[in-house]
Amino acid sequence: MNALLEILRQLKLEGMRAAVEAMEEQGSSQLEDLRPVLLRLLDAESAHRKQLTTECLTIKARFHYSAGIQSVATGVDRNLGQDLLERLATTRWVSPGQNVLITGPTGAGKSYLASALGRQACQHGHSTIYFHCNRLWPMLAAARKRDTYGKELRKIAKTELLILDD
């Protein structure tokens, strides 16, 4: 029963949660028959909400590549091990505000890797913005002229993951 109530609480379905608790207190036999169906429906709703959130975060981020972590090449020649990629893919480094600096020669796939990590962060619910520096600086200069510079900086500062691509 606790799993059902917890999912209802997470989805902020307080009316349904109260009704389920009332049915439980009354010892309703209908609740036991409905429990598997309710859990399935609530899991589907939870997955749907997560997918919508991921899509929204991904659109707002404006990635340069449609990259995924699973398609990033690793190996000694790329100086990127599978274990490091897997650790970065957890996105545990985003919340404490740690930085990742990706270096390498032109054409090595730095932008692709940054996009893949950004998309992974979106899938974990982190707000992300991807900027090419040659577009960011003129955008900030134009914002300064329009007196919206502070607003743009606040928007960037609120973002959990900022990707700057040279």
Domain ranges, ordered by start, for the chain: 2-52, 69-165
41 close to 76: Cβ distance less than 8 angstroms: no
Per mean pLDDT, which range of 7-11, 25-29, 137-141 is the poorest?
25-29
Average pLDDT, the chain: 92
CA–CA–CA angle 163, 128, 13 (5° rounding): 165
Helix (H, G, I), strand (E, B) or coil at 132: strand
pLDDT in tens, 104-151: 888 888 999 999 999 999 999 999 999 999 999 999 999 999 999 999
Give how far Cα 3 sits from Cα of 6, 23, 38, 120, 132, Å. 5, 15, 11, 27, 44
Report pLDDT digits (tens) over 28-43: 778 888 889 999 999 9
Query: What pLDDT, on a 0 to 100 scale, did the predictor assign at position 79?
Result: 85
CA distances from 12 to 16, 47, 53, 87, 122 (A): 9, 14, 16, 32, 22
Scored b (16 or more CB within 10 A) or e, 10-39 reads eeeeeebbeebeeeeeeeeeebeeeeeebe
**Tokens, residue 133:** 């520096």
Q: Which position has the higher pLDDT, 102 or 32?
A: 102
| Closest by CA position to 85, among listed 66, 112, 50, 56 | 112
Q: What percent of the chain has pLDDT over 70?
A: 99
**What letter would DSSP give residue 131?**
E
User: What's the pLDDT at 96?
Assistant: 92
Say if pTM beats, i.e. exceeds, 0.75: yes
Q: What is the distance between the alpha carbons of residues 160 and 92, in angstroms, rounded to a whole number? A: 12
Q: How confident is the model at residue 1 (pLDDT cuts 50, 70, 90)?
A: low
Top CATH class, 69-165: alpha beta
SS3 19: helix
Q: Is residue 130 within 8 Å of residue 64, measured between CB atoms? A: yes
Q: What is the rounded CA–CA span in Å between residue 42 and residue 3?
A: 11
